[in-house]
Structure 1
């Protein structure tokens, strides 16, 4: 009965949040507080279910990333300086308020962390986890998690075991993992393998005194690269979403603050724009464009769920008063509720603020991958989205000696194509500045193979508004999509599955 109450409440509040144009997780947070106010306490198994959800989330993230793509100069400079500045300011504030300096230091560092769960979930929902700014955000979150391990060890007066370096063994287990994946031919076996490996990585890391989340992430990275990992990530999607509901519920179920505590939490929320502004400034100083800096900063402008853990540790150690648990709980919940809808419409927000934000860009920026190309050379055809469909279109044009260049928002995809001597450059289709600035004088036609329908619509609209008169070819999956794409200005639209059926029939008739 209790399980039905909290699951049903989460659904109802998530439904209301969605109808108000908020992400469902905002409803889950409200449901947690509503259940607590109604006299329901947290279920014993709820924290454990939430931990499983986080481990599955980070495991699926690991499936999609390459370690080399996470090592960037701006990660250490932006992430490091942000933590240092926030720590100093927070510690001075706690000292000024009369709190114990040690507890204030630990909590100050904790408030410098961003929510890993929210940032990754938003990036994944928006399809931006593999983009340039998505990888920068993920790298900074990993850096924060590593510092968090040491901070928690200090707060709890414990430390990882000397055997923690055994985590480095995980990458060498890839041949065994690949064999298991190839042997798992049915869909349910691949799903079970993914869950097993995610939990195994978490248990192994926890045994070594390291955060289980790190172990799950490393296990995902180890398994990544196989052609069947995309299938595992797809099958784990719904499962991890269900488990993550417990994470958002338990924040509210842990307790409601009183009036004074609520005011303190609101004061902490008032500092969030300053944290976001600091991130933006540091990204700009690192040489990134205003758009990349803004979208990345927005994803990082939250208080981390890790602050809940450190707060409990310092309170139990007597370093801070008990009231801080309720204050930090509400501050974290509030930051997630505010950041979720803002990140959902981050590109629209940037379009409104672009005239102001671009003024902060450095005049002599470093040659970062996120720059817009000044020239496309002698290229006459452009393929946007270098997935399987895009690569096929690129190859077909190249085979006919056409001058073609490809665009893709995933840096690792760009690097892979360059290694195969394909002309591919970085380009994010959601970047309005790209469509208004990229040189199209020589371009005769553009092929859009973007998986997201809204992105295809936006790209066609911006190209036609710019005055591009060449051909625009794209794909669709539904009849109403085809009608809308043609209305916006597409020259032709192809349904991949229908086209596959037509080609199969043609081949059969030719061989008859």
Structure 2
């Protein structure tokens, strides 16, 4: 039974790479290649069946739907996103196409289509890496996702032209989709918190978004993304995203397995893939300097560029339509770029700390409006991360503490807090340049309420490095992370679930009949 073999190898190699500090998706890719190698050496047929292909496609659609749930479209329409993506696409094609034409003696059409396929970055990998670090709504995450969406739109245009097909006249219906938003909001409100919520997500992502867009000649991936984005402003959008999390993760295993099982390459395909992976740093460097040109800081430019330093599954789709004979070399190229990019992105903040002194001289003197440095003035208590935990801490302290400030890296969230009367400003606590320019003369206490462990570790280390001697407290779900936070400089790191239990128990004080 092929499904049993896929699951066994995916779990085994996913667990192995996780133990050495790599994302499990690298193990899923490796499992696919191992299965392909076993098939070639033993003669036992192990191939990507239609079922695996469907599972992989569903995983991609669900991923893009959940990405859409986290997006605010107004944040995508920005100069750095539109300009950065279009300029990168144009420069890559202008450089790669002649190079492939001259060095590989290819026809112009083939060289151009290969250049186009190699210009895209992976939406699946970048979104998954950013999501795993909870950085989709951070400034650099929104820039990277915005550029990926622009690239996906370019890819859709290229595929339509290459296939000689155009969307049907019914595709104009999509311009009326915003009219459905009130109905979708009501459906989300009426779905409750259990299986109906999951089914609603599957209906919107796979049926209305995926199959619906395909029916009118548009990309199913774009459809899933659009329907997710239509619900992004609903208060329960993140609950919907969490309800789909496990289903999406299981299906995405099929996507990575499918890439590996596609077949072992010949020597020419392998050499092509290795050469393209060797050129991968140029892709990231180009993104970095383009974003710097749009007045982003070095840190945001570096993190966004690193997330985009890979080749795209959309390149494989383009190849399947326009260059089927190049599908295997491109599949190996994409796979190897994943293997290189995934662990580098996992260490993105640590890498930037090491090279920041060399990158900051490239910054423009005029910074992007979302990234202006701030002074904390008379603030005595600082809360970093204004999600649910940070907001609860802020509201409780605001009863007795006037000199209170919150920081968050999501401008939309900052604006919402400001509308509600909280003293919250935009700043990324993981940005080392933020700390270098920070003036905080009166701070005596800091609460680290960011979502990811890396941000808390960097913030604690930077506070102590700057000579801060006040009280630093954080929360986390895991005991090993609490130990790391304390070692980084925090005075205390409490376990979230334990503190929740203590808070619940405290409500009983003075309320029990025998307490009087």
Give the 3-state SS of the residue equivalent to 2:447 in structure 1. Answer: strand
Aligned to 1:179: 186
Give the 3-state SS of the residue equivalent to 2:165 in structure 1. Answer: coil
Aligned to 2:15: 15
Which residue, out of 350, 353, 376, partners 1:351?
Answer: 353
Which residue, out of 140, 143, 150, partners 1:136?
Answer: 143
Aligned to 1:244: 252
Which residue, out of 313, 320, 334, partners 1:305?
Answer: 313
My pick for the range that moved more, 34-43 or 492-501, is 492-501
Q: CA contact under 8 A between 2:297 and 2:367: conserved in structure 1?
A: no
Q: Cα–Cα, structure 1 residues 25 and 473, in superposed 2: closer, same or farther, change >3 Å?
A: closer
| 1:284-299 to 2 correspondences below 5 Å | 284-299=292-307
**1:66 corresponds to 2:72:** yes
Give the 3-state SS of the residue equivalent to 2:369 in structure 1. Answer: coil
**1:32 corresponds to 2:65:** no
Q: CA contact under 8 A between 2:101 and 2:108: conserved in structure 1?
A: yes
Aligned to 1:368: 369
**RMSD after superposition:** 2.1
- Give unpaired runs (5+ residues) of structure 1: 317-321
Q: Cα–Cα, structure 1 residues 142 and 482, in superposed 2: closer, same or farther, change >3 Å?
A: closer
Aligned to 2:419: 419
Aligned to 2:507: 504
My pick for the range that moved more, 341-350 or 60-69, is 60-69
Q: Cα–Cα, structure 1 residues 94 and 455, in superposed 2: closer, same or farther, change >3 Å?
A: closer
Shift of 1:229: 2.5
Q: Cα–Cα, structure 1 residues 507 and 296, in superposed 2: closer, same or farther, change >3 Å?
A: farther
Aligned to 2:449: 449
My pick for the range that moved more, 451-460 or 194-203, is 451-460
Give the 3-state SS of the residue equivalent to 1:195 in structure 2. Answer: helix
- Give unpaired runs (5+ residues) of structure 2: 40-45
> What is the alpha-carbon distance in structure 2 between the residues aligned to residue 125 and residue 423 of structure 1?
29
> What is the alpha-carbon distance in structure 2 between the residues aligned to residue 482 and residue 281 of structure 1?
37
Q: CA contact under 8 A between 1:304 and 1:332: conserved in structure 2?
A: yes
My pick for the range that moved more, 102-111 or 214-223, is 102-111
Deviations 1:196-223 (A, max 9, x none): 1111211111112111111111111122
**1:264 corresponds to 2:266:** no
The TM-score with structure 1 as length reference comes to 0.93
Tell me the matched-pair count. Answer: 504
Q: Cα–Cα, structure 1 residues 239 and 378, in superposed 2: closer, same or farther, change >3 Å?
A: same
Which residue, out of 71, 81, 100, partners 1:94?
Answer: 100
**1:166 corresponds to 2:166:** no
My pick for the range that moved more, 490-499 or 74-83, is 490-499
The TM-score with structure 2 as length reference comes to 0.92
**1:195 corresponds to 2:197:** no
Aligned to 1:461: 461
Aligned to 1:319: none
Q: CA contact under 8 A between 2:270 and 2:329: conserved in structure 1?
A: yes
Shift of 1:35: 1.4
Deviations 1:427-484 (A, max 9, x none): 2222233234321212122222223345334422331232112232333446666666
My pick for the range that moved more, 233-242 or 93-102, is 93-102
Give the 3-state SS of the residue equivalent to 1:460 in structure 2. Answer: helix
**1:325 corresponds to 2:331:** no
Give the 3-state SS of the residue equivalent to 1:382 in structure 2. Answer: strand
Shift of 1:378: 3.0
| 1:418-437 to 2 correspondences below 5 Å | 418-437=418-437
Shift of 1:311: 1.4
Q: Cα–Cα, structure 1 residues 235 and 93, in superposed 2: closer, same or farther, change >3 Å?
A: same
Aligned to 1:104: 111
> What is the alpha-carbon distance in structure 2 between the residues aligned to residue 30 and residue 246 of structure 1?
13
Q: Cα–Cα, structure 1 residues 16 and 85, in superposed 2: closer, same or farther, change >3 Å?
A: same
Q: CA contact under 8 A between 2:144 and 2:304: conserved in structure 1?
A: yes
Q: Cα–Cα, structure 1 residues 303 and 482, in superposed 2: closer, same or farther, change >3 Å?
A: closer
Q: Cα–Cα, structure 1 residues 484 and 287, in superposed 2: closer, same or farther, change >3 Å?
A: closer
